[in-house]
Structure 1
């Protein structure tokens, strides 16, 4: 039998190409439909936009990145880790101050219950940048305002303060403050001015 020859013109490639906008999907070995390249591009674009939003939020929360116009993602991550570590150290420091204050308040309550002569006293504890004052004075109208004016005069940043007056009219004022560079001299001046009230 002789070989068969067809003299018909073969079809062009464009006759078999899919129409624009129509995606031909084939089932892969896993049995699911594979997504078109357009869908993959859109998903990737959406993922990148979400990541950019998250990096922007992260950047807005870290103070060291405020002054940098376009930090790299690596810089954002490193500065964020550093900032979290600083915040953890600050938490430990403040917890230590709080424990100190609780101890000082317990001691202050014991002392105030034993004092009958209403003398003035100012106890000071300085630790890692913060200064704790335990002030005991005879109570009189306006004394709290005068104490606050002394701290304000020396530009002390008050972190926490408590006030109590016992049955013997003895005022106990405890305060934790942060001072500027010349803390040692300022602390002494504050103490002298409060005792003079």
Structure 2
């Protein structure tokens, strides 16, 4: 072309210089984002681990409070919860039973003074004391063969529950037999019958 010169076209710029103050660093941004995600995941794992440890401790506490779980080496959590619920129900029933007993005790009149009864002659005596549901017999007879066996048979005949009994014979061959017994609901009538039958033994001998 006429009048064309190469020097008119400016040379190409080989190095590209980005605008001042503008910088793109995808590598740095990606690393920072990855670090945040890893930290968040670690926190989540630690929190979950802590939650499981707390739950495990609570199940261990429940197991230690339920008697029938002691015999099981590794009960499942379902088993622990099931037996705990049943145990709580049993405790609630026991509370109701004890409260019922307490109400009955409050309604009952105050305990009366001990009731005393006595039979005595020159050689023998039978003292009876009734107090707080228990009956105390103090029997004194001249010692004779089989007398102790016969006295015991009288108590056994009337289904008396013997709590304490003592037997002794002194130098004058006087037998002392003391016994504390508990009777059923008809204790008053039974006590009188026992006393009469024991006194009859003294007459026989």
Shorter-chain TM-score bucket reads 0.5 to 0.7
1:123 paired with 2:127, answer yes
Aligned match of 2:89 in 72, 89, 114?
A: 72
CA contact (8 A) 1:55 1:73 kept: no
| Match in the other structure for 1:160 | 164
> What are structure 1's unaligned runs of at least 5 residues?
26-34, 57-68, 86-99, 101-114
Give me the TM-score of the superposition, normalised by structure 2. 0.56
Please give the root-mean-square deviation of Cα atoms over the aligned residues, in Å: 3.9
Q: Aligned in 2, Cα 1:149/1:14: closer, same or farther, shift over 3 Å?
A: farther
CA contact (8 A) 2:63 2:69 kept: no
Query: C-alpha distance in 1, partners of 2:94/2:185?
Result: 32
- Name which structure has the greater RCO, CA cutoff 8 Å, separation 6+: 1
> What are structure 2's unaligned runs of at least 5 residues?
1-19, 71-85, 103-113, 115-120
Question: SS of the counterpart of 1:36?
Answer: helix
CA contact (8 A) 1:134 1:174 kept: yes
Aligned residues: 144
Give me the TM-score of the superposition, normalised by structure 1. 0.58
Which structure has the larger Rg over C-alpha atoms?
2
Query: C-alpha distance in 1, partners of 2:69/2:130?
Result: 39
